[in-house]
């Protein structure tokens, strides 16, 4: 979390990054206020919550596996 927060804050030093986030948020209909609450919202999530969500969605029983074999290889 600390690294994500630091990256987000330091990215705000550039006007181009600020413009990117503001444009992206407006485009997807979230509103620019999300940019100003991102760090607080991220910090409100616990490691236990992340682990529970990961276990729910990253289930190997439901995974698909693909093997890519180049043409001409047996």
CB atoms within 10 A of CB 38: 16
Residue 72 has a pLDDT of 85
pLDDT number for residue 16 = 92
Q: How many CA atoms lie within 13 A of 36 on its CB side?
A: 3
Euclidean distance between CA atoms 38 and 31, whole angstroms: 12
**Tell me, what's the pLDDT at 52?**
95
What's the pLDDT at 1?
82
* Residue 24: predicted pLDDT: 92
* pLDDT values of the chain reduced to their tens digit, one per residue, 74 residues: 889 889 888 888 899 989 998 999 999 999 888 888 988 999 999 999 999 999 988 888 888 889 998 988 77
DSSP state of 28: T
């Amino acid at each position: 979390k600390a690294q994500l927060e630091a990256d987000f804050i330091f990215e705000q030093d550039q006007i181009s990054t600020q413009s990117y986030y503001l444009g992206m948020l407006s485009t997807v209909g979230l509103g620019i206020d999300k940019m100003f609450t991102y760090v607080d919202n991220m910090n409100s999530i616990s490691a236990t919550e992340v682990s529970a969500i990961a276990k729910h969605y990253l289930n190997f029983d439901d995974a698909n596996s693909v093997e890519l074999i180049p043409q001409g290889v047996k």
